Amino acid sequence: MDQLIQITTVPIQYELKVNNARLEYSRSKAELEIHRNDGGLSIKSRPVKLKLDSFQARNSVVPTTATSVKQSAQKGQQAAYSATAQLAQEGQLLLKADIGQDVIGQIMQQRTAQPTGEFELGFTPSAPVDISYEAPDLTINYEMDKLNFDLKVANGNFEFIPGNIEMSITQRPQVLIEYVGGPLYVPPSANPDYEPVDVRA
């Protein structure tokens, strides 16, 4: 029986490119840079400063709302203490009163009596004005021109470039299957070279 199928194998093909390692050297360069800084004359003057703080002085003449509330609270507290002491004293007089003694008259006489003692003499405003003073100041600063020299010397540099291997595939592996037989006839009697088989033999 003749061979009907032919199988052909195509192997892979590739190319290798080898780059050898190398060491490169670059020479040094020297550079000189000159910078100039301009000088100048600067004058700073600060005038005299006089600060006047009259808050406490004005507050003693026309109190602020907070000060008025505080003063009213203090006066109310003092009046409550005085009234309590007076009522306690008058209560003691009433408890110790004898029959026929005019205690009510004594109490009324004490309440309507003219105050005696020392009187305080004050001035308005009662608080001084806070005065602060800063003397004037004059600062003169002179700077000459400056030359800056910058010498840059770069050392030689060695650069190592490693080697590498490059692979490129030029032919991929393949398997070729080729039919090499003759044509197939259906039914087999259609083949012009067909010879019937004698089944009686």
Asked if 53 contacts 129 with a C-beta cutoff of 8 angstroms, the reply is: yes
d(CA 191, CA 184): 8
Q: What is the pTM of this model?
A: 0.28
**pLDDT of 11 over the 80 cut:** yes
Nearest residue to 23 (alpha-carbon basis) of 156, 130, 198: 156
**pLDDT of 39 over the 70 cut:** yes
Q: Which residue has the tokens 């110790």?
A: 96
Tokens of 143: 């700077």
Instruction: Tell me the per-residue pLDDT of 66-83, one tens digit each, with 9 for 90 and over.
Output: 777 777 788 888 888 887
Average pLDDT over residues 3-27: 85
Share of the chain above pLDDT 90, in %: 2
DSSP secondary structure letter of residue 124: S
Instruction: Tell me the per-residue pLDDT of 158-196, one tens digit each, with 9 for 90 and over.
Output: 788 888 888 898 988 898 888 887 777 788 778 787 777
Instruction: Tell me the per-residue pLDDT of 101-141, one tens digit each, with 9 for 90 and over.
Output: 777 777 777 777 666 656 566 666 677 778 887 888 888 88
Task: Decide: helix, strand or coil at residue 58.
Answer: helix
Across all residues in the chain, what is the average pLDDT?
79
